[in-house]
Amino acid sequence: RAKIRLQTLLEYHSSKTPIVALTAHDYTSGYAADMGGVDIVLVGDSLAMVALGMDSTTELTLNDMIHHAKAVSRAVKSAFLVGDLPFGTYENTPTQALHSAIRMIREGRVEAVKIEGGSEMAPAVQKITSVGIPVLGHIGMMPQRQTSMGGFRAESILVNAKSLQEAGCFGIVLEAIPGNIAKLVTDALVIPTIGIGAGVGCSGQILVQLDMLGSYHKLAPKFVKQWGQVGEISKNCISSYCQEVRKRVFPGPEHTYSIKPEELDLFKN
């Protein structure tokens, strides 16, 4: 499969080809996403919960993110690789945002960064993109701000989306907003929207990989479809392993190295 570049994504957008994005948090999930054929792999800060068992994305550090992004980058050969900037690593000043973005590129080996926020983040987006680092925006429900969630207004979604586009974002994630609003926003922009819980009218879709595989045991939101029950399969495999070890059924001869009986004599001496 040919390497997907930023230019490829923009070509998909202009030909109205849906952009498929999925998260990954380590080498194996990165390999699955890339081999499965997605266009964008996002090392999302959802890794705080689904991979690290934290209660919130706000606990995640830039070093945590870099550690995981680097692992994902070793597996992703074709997809365009994007990494989230964690809470607290870009909001203070545009300079802080640029510093964190550069670390994600150099150490995390990603090709672009994602930050949450609307027009208040426009100066940060401008600063990061000014040195040629592509930025993906993220508005609607913003998990890093969960403690301050109020509702949202359709006009503010549109104003924020336009401001991020103006600031230089190459695309915007729209999370958990009504489908008809997401469609209006998508039609009003020249850059692609990547929806999660935002209906079929977006330019592309993204999901958290462990959610869509049915691997993560905690309740998934309404917008998650599970294409399998991988968590159940894992649990069944492990309980079979436990039973077979306890009955001495595993390991069988086919899993065991052996030597010829005459060599065994040598070994005994």
The footprint of ligand KIV (CB under 6 A) covers: 23, 42, 44-46, 84, 173, 196, 206, 208
Nearest in space to 181 (alpha carbons), one of 153, 204, 207, 162: 153
Q: Which residues contact residue 181 at a Cβ distance below 8 angstroms, ignoring those fewer than 6 apart? A: 154, 157
- Binder of residue 196, out of Na ion, ligand KIV, none (CB less than 5 to 8 A by kind): ligand KIV
Place of tokens 């907003």: 177
* ∠ CA 174-177-180, rounded to 5°: 100
**Which helix (H) or strand (E) element contains residue 21?**
strand 19-23
Identify whether 175 is a catalytic site residue: yes
> Please, what is the minimum distance in Å from the beta carbon of residue 196 to ligand KIV?
5
> Please, what is the minimum distance in Å from the beta carbon of residue 236 to ligand KIV?
27
Measured from the CB atom, the residue of 44 and 168 that comes closer to Na ion is 44
> Please, what is the minimum distance in Å from the beta carbon of residue 26 to ligand KIV?
14
How far is it between the farthest Cα atoms of the chain? Answer: 85
Q: What is the DSSP letter of 117?
A: B
In the list 34, 39, 45, 175, the residue contacting Na ion (rule: CB under 5 A) is 45
Cα(172)–Cα(178) distance, integer angstroms = 16
Structure tokens at 62: 């830039």
**Which helix (H) or strand (E) element contains residue 31?**
helix 27-36
Measured from the CB atom, the residue of 105 and 194 that comes closer to ligand KIV is 194
Let me know: does 85 contact 97? Beta carbons within 8 Å: yes
- Binder of residue 82, out of ligand KIV, Na ion, none (CB less than 5 to 8 A by kind): none
> Please, what is the minimum distance in Å from the beta carbon of residue 2 to ligand KIV?
25
SS3 content of the chain, % helix, strand, coil (to 5): 45, 15, 40
> Please, what is the minimum distance in Å from the beta carbon of residue 45 to ligand KIV?
5
Peptide bond before residue 251 is cis, with ω within 30 degrees of 0? yes
Q: Which stretch binds Na ion (CB under 5 A): 60-68, 76-84, 121-129, 252-260?
A: 76-84
Measured from the CB atom, the residue of 30 and 44 that comes closer to Na ion is 44
* ∠ CA 57-159-220, rounded to 5°: 30
**Residue 214 makes contact with Na ion by CB under 5 A:** no
Catalytic residue among 175, 232, 254, 263, which? 175
For residue 113, list its beta bridge partners.
Answer: 83, 135
Measured from the CB atom, the residue of 42 and 71 that comes closer to ligand KIV is 42
Cα(69)–Cα(64) distance, integer angstroms = 9
**Residue 86 makes contact with Na ion by CB under 5 A:** no
**Residue 39 makes contact with Na ion by CB under 5 A:** no
Measured from the CB atom, the residue of 84 and 111 that comes closer to ligand KIV is 84
- Binder of residue 60, out of ligand KIV, Na ion, none (CB less than 5 to 8 A by kind): none
**Residue 44 makes contact with Na ion by CB under 5 A:** yes
**Residue 84 makes contact with Na ion by CB under 5 A:** yes
- Residues taking part in catalysis: 175
Chain positions contacting Na ion, by CB under 5 A: 44-45, 84
